[in-house]
Structure 1
Amino acid sequence: MEQINQPRGAARDITTHDEPVIYEREAETPVPLTCAEAEQHNPYTLLTELRDHALTVTTDGERPQDSSHHLAELALSSAVVAWWSRWQPLSMHRAFAAGASLAEVAAAAGTTEAEAYDRWERWAERQSKVRIGGRLSVEPSEVAAIRRRLAFPHR
């Protein structure tokens, strides 16, 4: 039986190096221990921070066992999920505007077509009314065109 959504490869095969890499954090950058602290970091660098943190090993080649190490990993991963979840509808919109189908967007988002459509539509409805610098965030005509193309029933 095939396992779904399981990481591939052995746990120690994270890098292409023969030996584990020891990442050292710069002293002036405090390790976030809460999601709120981690969300203060640049959303794009969070991914790198999480990766580097996940690859941290002691000089003995083992993962640190102190609670702050694991709290930091949880805080970083929670912040990554929070940031990218907020940005997901924008990515969906860009994919729809570029011609992607609802099935393709749902598969990319790892959700059902109904959930993908609902997430995008709630976002698009709000964004088509938001003005930034005198311009609408998203043109209502673009949203309407995507709705027509998708022909997904409204709830």
Structure 2
Amino acid sequence: MSYILDKPLESVFGYISVLPGAFSAYRYRALLNGPDGNGPLASYFKGEAMHGWYAIFFLQFLLPSTIDRILCFEIVIKKREGWILRYVKSAKAATDVPTTVPEFISQRRRWLNGSLVASFHSTIFFYRIWTSGQNPFACLYSRFVR
């Protein structure tokens, strides 16, 4: 249902809360880090540089379920880049779907956990939206509507 109502509305504001990694396309330039070394790729590979118990927790439980959401957020908040995210209704893709109830419940749990962690991430780094030069409506939408 979210792809019928939510994604087209999010697309109007230029910020889509999550683009599924299984069938998304990004411009390479949008993924590159800024001159300060921060950006989408730094966030994407953050777990690779971690060590100890936190790294295990982060890599096994948090990162896999949040990476699509955090990547979208990091692309939009790149300073003075003005990247927007769009939903293309006519796009076609094939993906694997859960075939049993336990698989479905496990998938939903991962997605809900990912949504919660990504909400914390966007709350902590909300100030970066205002300093990015993005459309103020996209900023408000990203924080309060979704």
Fold similarity call, TM over 0.5: no
TM-score by length of 1: 0.34
Greater RCO, CA 8 A, separation 6+: 2
| The structure with more radius of gyration | 1
More helix as a share of residues: 2
TM-score by length of 2: 0.36
